[in-house]
Structure 1
Amino acid sequence: MHTIAAWRRLLAEFTGAALLVTAVVGSGIMATTLSPDDVGLQLLQNSVATAFALGALILTFGPVSGAHFNPVVSAADWFLGRRTKSGLSGADLAGYVAAQTAGAIAGSVLANLMFDLAPVTFSGKDRTAGHLWLGEIVATAGLLLLIFALARSGRAALAPAAVGAYIGAAYWFTSSTSFANPAVTIGRAFTDTFAGIAPASVPGFVIAQLAGLLIGVGLLLALYPNIGQAADDIVVPTERLPS
């Protein structure tokens, strides 16, 4: 299906995920530096920077890899495309997940280094609670509904703005501040800063995100029975360029 070399697509996913986490972590560090006594303002600064960065990164890497940057998006693309033989293959999915996770970890390390911190400072921020897991389920399912609905309706070109806006908003309307991404969740464990999550809290978040994946896929199949036909356009259609 894809005419772009696999290594180029994996490099795009690695780099995009790395820069996304760099934006999340770096803006969190800057926010606590600039507004040390106002957590609400810190969250606003962090969410705005993340939303804009995500939109820009989708525009940058979308034509190469689709700009998933997220294992649940890639998994949904693989599953929903099976009947129509579209979307990611099993090998693609494994490569994307590995590249996204490695990139997310690298992004935390890069942000730490940019702000003169130790390369790896495991977070001590506990995020273990049922209401936070519920927030992750809602955030993840909603993200999948948005992305695949855009593709199914021929509006994938709106994904950079729409996905950035959704994540920026979900920082505020979910209890968990909308990680909605297993790779990003793992990456954020490697920084003991505003955006961090304690390693012990990671499994709960990832399980909740996987539950959101199942719910999101179920809703998509109910709402758009032929959703698999749009699998090649998730998140942004990749250009059919020579390898």
Structure 2
Amino acid sequence: MTSFSTSRKLAAEVLGTALLLAAVVGSGIMGERLAGGNTAIALLGNTLATGAALVVLIWVFGPISGAHFNPAMTLVAALRRDMPWRLALAYPPVQVTGGVLGVWAAHAMFGEPILQVSTRLRDGGPQAFSEVVATFGLVGVILGTVRFRPEATALAVGLYITAAYWFTASTSFANPAVTAARSLSDTFAGIAPSSAPAFILAQLVGALLGAAVFGWLLQVEKTS
């Protein structure tokens, strides 16, 4: 198996998260501009671009860094001892940095002001609970496919997020780095900074619940 240096792993997380946020925010802007006021059409465009981008980005960066792009998934990996804590602690700062760079790139591509702060409120218990459910499910999808069909992980993650955009009230951020970065975009995909802490807390709760439940579910029974 090919081994990559820590610097390459961190670079992969920066680039991958940046490209993911460019897809999320850019497709949101494009969708809203072309939808003629139809929010469902705008969300559909945003959904398809995000799910497709995730599949490709995991294929490209997975062999280098694991393609986490997500502090919650990094936390799960560290708790499961799939990566050392020293490396796990280095991932979230570069993931957030990459996310912000991706948001700025999307703004630049569409002629938007680079520096923005979102005013789109996403408050309330149902939204926060949706993030618990979305992140819990994402952990289950990743752990289950890695265990049984590792070659299908990228596709499974993309399909799950595509579906979760529509079955959760929050449109399934399921990622603290994505949440933080999207607070800096006052566009279709944005989230107000005041709404972000509840989302991030819910995502971490969902990730921990997912790690516990699916860690137990997928554990092989020892036979004598």
Q: TM-score, normalised by structure 1?
A: 0.88
Mapping 1:60-139, distance limit 5 Å? 60-81=60-81, 87-139=82-134
Equivalent residue for 1:54?
54
Match of 1:187 in 2: 181
Match of 2:216 among 219, 222, 227: 222
Deviation at 1:95, TM superposition (A): 1.1
Alpha-carbon distance in 2 for matches of 1:221, 1:45: 34
Partner residue, 1:232:
none
Which one-letter code corresponds to 2:126 in the other structure? H
* 1:72-115 alpha-carbon deviations (Å, 9 max, x no partner): 1111011012xxxxx21111111111111110111111101111
Where do 4+ consecutive residues of structure 1 move more than 3 Å? none
Aligned-pair identity (%): 44
What residue identity is the alignment partner of 2:20?
L
Matched, 1:171 2:165: yes
For structure 2, list consecutive stretches of 5 or more residues without a partner in the other structure.
none
Residue 3 of structure 1: how far off its partner (Å): 2.9
Gaps of 5+ in 1: 82-86, 227-243
Corresponding residue for residue 152 of structure 2: 158
The alignment partner of 1:141 has SS state of helix
CA deviations over 1:21-45 (Å, ceiling 9, x no partner): 0000000000011013100011111
- Which residue identity lines up with residue 166 of structure 1 in the other structure? Y
State the one-letter code of the partner of 1:66.
G
- Distance in structure 2 (CA, Å) of the matches to 1:144 and 1:94: 19
Corresponding residue for residue 11 of structure 1: 11
What SS does structure 2 have at the residue aligned with 1:200? coil
Deviation of the 1:117 alpha carbon = 1.0
Match of 2:196 in 1: 202
Counterpart position of 1:39: 39
* Amino acid aligned to 1:200: S
For 2:114 and 2:37, the matched residues in 1 are separated by: 26
The answer as to 2:139 corresponding to 1:144 is yes
Aligned residues: 221
Query: Which whole-Å deviations, capped at 9, do the CAs of 1:49-82 have from their partners, x for residues lacking one?
Result: 100011011111111111111111111011012x
Supply the AA of the counterpart residue of 2:161: I
Question: Could you tell me how far apart the structure 2 residues matched to 1:221 and 1:8 are?
Answer: 29
* TM-score of the two chains, using structure 2 as the length reference: 0.96
Amino acid at match of 1:16: G
Q: What's the RMSD between the two structures over aligned residues?
A: 1.4
- The residue type equivalent to 1:69 in the other structure is F
